[in-house]
Amino acid sequence: MWFPRLASDRVLRTRPVEGPFALTLKQANAERLHCLNMEAERQGLYRGMTLADARAFCPGLFSRPADPVADTGFLHVLRRWATRYCPWVGIEGDDGLVLDITGSAHLFGSEAMMLADMRQRLSRAGLTARIGLGDTRGAAWALAHHGEGRAETGAPLEALVDLPVAALRLEEATITGLQRLGLRRIGDLESAARAPLARRFGPDLLLRLDQALGRQPEQVTPLSEPPHYGIRLSLPEPIGLTDDVMAATSRLLEQLCAKLKAQEAGARVLCLTLRRVDQEAQTVELRLASPLRDAARILPLFARGVGEVDAGYGIDQIRLEAVQVEPLPVHQVSHVSTGRADQLDDLITRIGTRIGLENVQRFLPADSHIPERSFLIAAAAWSEPGGSWVAPRPRPVRLFPPESITGTGARPPRQFRWRRMSLTTARATGPERIAPEWWLPDDNWRSGIRDYWHAETRQGRRLWLFYTPQNPGWFVQGEFA
């Protein structure tokens, strides 16, 4: 199944354009046409033409930049759709699908009826598709790309004999070489002597020919289905009580956790969607402090979110999805209990549902002399405690933005007022000079180097003062124990 205009069909499906249309892609420093619609091809445009040339040929051309990533995604969507015909669906190049319909054609009546069904559904979706059917993968490819059709079972050569050699999935150089020899059709190639051909073009050419004619096997590799962590429960009667919703959630959780266990994964973010009778959907998001797949532990964490849901006239569909999943290998069961750590993780999750998981934090040591930067604050759910905390010199237990006090000279003032208190310095230890980190711009350190003093006042308060010699002034920045 070949989609010659996959990219432009995808774009035109969402915003139809009358007249010639093309997608452009920047290649070799020029905007070139990447994919065109039928109308544009009729005007004489072709793939690989520069956009400027195309505009000159066809002034009414609409164009948009191409998005190859979205095209690949769309092809994967089509692949998933194609599993309605057979379970064995693989991807062929950038714009094709390969289906092994052995044994499933009769489900649609016959091969011809199956093809008709495919064509009808694809054209209704607005996709141009060319479908080739053959005994072998090579024959099907040839028929799809060059003159659509069906090769009768057991006689692939009859259908292929008039097709050009390009239908054999050959390299450009080989095709040109064959044409120079006068071998233009597959029939010519088949009737030529094999040995000189293998000498001239290498084994690839004959391998492709044999694959197309069924003398060499070729497999269809189906893409593995990525695991899907979503479970849905439809209820015959709407429910509204919290207990009922929790019971339904617990059923879904058990299934989801079994799925997660099979994949050795743990959910990090869960999303519970409750659809009400009036089609209104309410979502409960649960962000966990650590990957989990233990239904009994996750269920109570949902209690708060479910309690806040407005059931309205009742809920008739519940969907649970693990939005974010992390690998969680199976652990050896040991006699050492991990209950304490688990309990702490659950507590972090529960607090996180109330104030946001990123607001539960922990301190991590950082390598800096600047007091405000000597530690990092990281979200507890995404960091491990660690590192060593070694204060090179006594540090205050409280830090605040510098508060100015009056004072002159390089030694701490004997008497000063701070926060409406009159304080007398009884002993001062210092100075400890800290230079700003010039490689990190910081507005607070514009005043230059600082001389820090540990000042003990006769009134008891022990303050952290600093003096800025380059820009004279005294400030209080912290308080000691």
Q: Which is nearer to other proteins, 319 or 461 (CB)?
A: 461
Q: Which is nearer to other proteins, 201 or 480 (CB)?
A: 480
What would the two tokens of residue 372 be?
């405000």
Instruction: Provide the minimum distance between the beta carbon of 473 and other proteins in the complex, in angstroms, as a whole number.
Output: 19
Instruction: Provide the minimum distance between the beta carbon of 429 and other proteins in the complex, in angstroms, as a whole number.
Output: 8
Q: Which is nearer to other proteins, 254 or 479 (CB)?
A: 479
Q: Which is nearer to other proteins, 359 or 470 (CB)?
A: 359
Instruction: Provide the minimum distance between the beta carbon of 381 and other proteins in the complex, in angstroms, as a whole number.
Output: 11
The neighbouring-strand residues paired with 275 are 281, 317
Bond prior to 469 in cis (omega within 30° of 0)? no
Contact residues for other proteins (CB under 8 A)? Answer: 340, 343-344, 346-348, 350-351, 354-355, 359-365, 371, 374-375, 377, 380, 385-387, 389-391, 394-401, 426-427, 429, 454, 456-462, 478-481
Q: Give the CA diameter of the chain.
A: 110
Instruction: Provide the minimum distance between the beta carbon of 430 and other proteins in the complex, in angstroms, as a whole number.
Output: 13
The answer to whether 323 and 273 have CB atoms below 8 angstroms apart is no
Which H or E run contains 393? none
Q: Which is nearer to other proteins, 26 or 458 (CB)?
A: 458
Q: Which is nearer to other proteins, 290 or 457 (CB)?
A: 457
Strand 421-434 to strand 415-418: parallel, antiparallel, or no bridges (unpaired)?
antiparallel
Nearby residues of 252 by Cβ (< 8 Å), 6 or more positions away: 231, 232, 233, 318, 319, 320
The neighbouring-strand residues paired with 282 are 274
Instruction: Provide the minimum distance between the beta carbon of 431 and other proteins in the complex, in angstroms, as a whole number.
Output: 16
Q: Which is nearer to other proteins, 228 or 419 (CB)?
A: 419
The radius of gyration computed from the CA coordinates of the chain, to the nearest angstrom, equals 36
Q: Which is nearer to other proteins, 150 or 369 (CB)?
A: 369
Instruction: Provide the minimum distance between the beta carbon of 476 and other proteins in the complex, in angstroms, as a whole number.
Output: 12
Q: Report the alpha-carbon distance of residue 236 to residue 139 in Å, rounded.
A: 50
Q: Report the alpha-carbon distance of residue 67 to residue 20 in Å, rounded.
A: 19
Instruction: Provide the minimum distance between the beta carbon of 286 and other proteins in the complex, in angstroms, as a whole number.
Output: 15
Nearby residues of 11 by Cβ (< 8 Å), 6 or more positions away: 21, 23, 64
Instruction: Provide the minimum distance between the beta carbon of 397 and other proteins in the complex, in angstroms, as a whole number.
Output: 4
Q: Report the alpha-carbon distance of residue 181 to residue 196 in Å, rounded.
A: 12
Q: Report the alpha-carbon distance of residue 328 to residue 174 in Å, rounded.
A: 50
